[in-house]
Amino acid sequence: MGRAIVVGLLSVLAGFGAWYMFQTADRVASIPIRNASALVDARPGARVTAYGRVYVDGRPGMALYTTSVETCENRTHFRSDGRTTRDRECSWHETNRQTPSFGLVLNDGNQPTVRVVNSNYQLEGHMRTIDLGGSTQQQGFSDGDSVLVIGTADAKGVRADTVYGGTLDQYIGNTRLMAWGLVVLTVVLLAASIVLVLI
């Protein structure tokens, strides 16, 4: 019964995650402000999206990036039948970030049209990856890379929540795809919890 309760709770968490992801995709899809002229007239605090090219200083190399280190740990798992299994689990941990305020070149211009005014945004989507050796890597964007900025209008530009490597349609599509994946996981976990109750 104890395992059934745990699995049931996991199914609830997965279901909540699916709901949240669908809500996120719908909120971004409903944002009406998506072009340069609308951004100029947007009231501060209004939700906005902007698609354009990154401009920091024009120099080659990463302009916006996070640095992560991979750490691995050997784990021993004790099974109910008395046997033990061992595996190696690895994960990436962020150790540094370079996410400055930057210009966004919209349309076909050569100069920044809009400025991202903050530096506490998240980098997501398709990004460049540089292997620094020693289980260390950088992921991010270079000057000239096309990104989608999601955030709120500011008196001086845009206050970004997310800088995404891809288009608006890709962001919405990928977010909904992840949500459907959580829906499937919810159904599987719920079915598993029912089976555990019955056996």
User: What percent of the chain stands above pLDDT 70?
Assistant: 92
pTM of the model: 0.79
Residue 39 confidence (pLDDT) above 90: no
Query: What own/partner pairs with CB < 8 Å and gap ≥ 24 does 192-197 have?
Result: 192/7, 192/11, 193/4, 193/5, 193/7, 193/8, 193/11, 194/4, 196/1, 196/3, 196/4, 196/7, 197/1, 197/4
What's the average model confidence in pLDDT over 181-194? 85
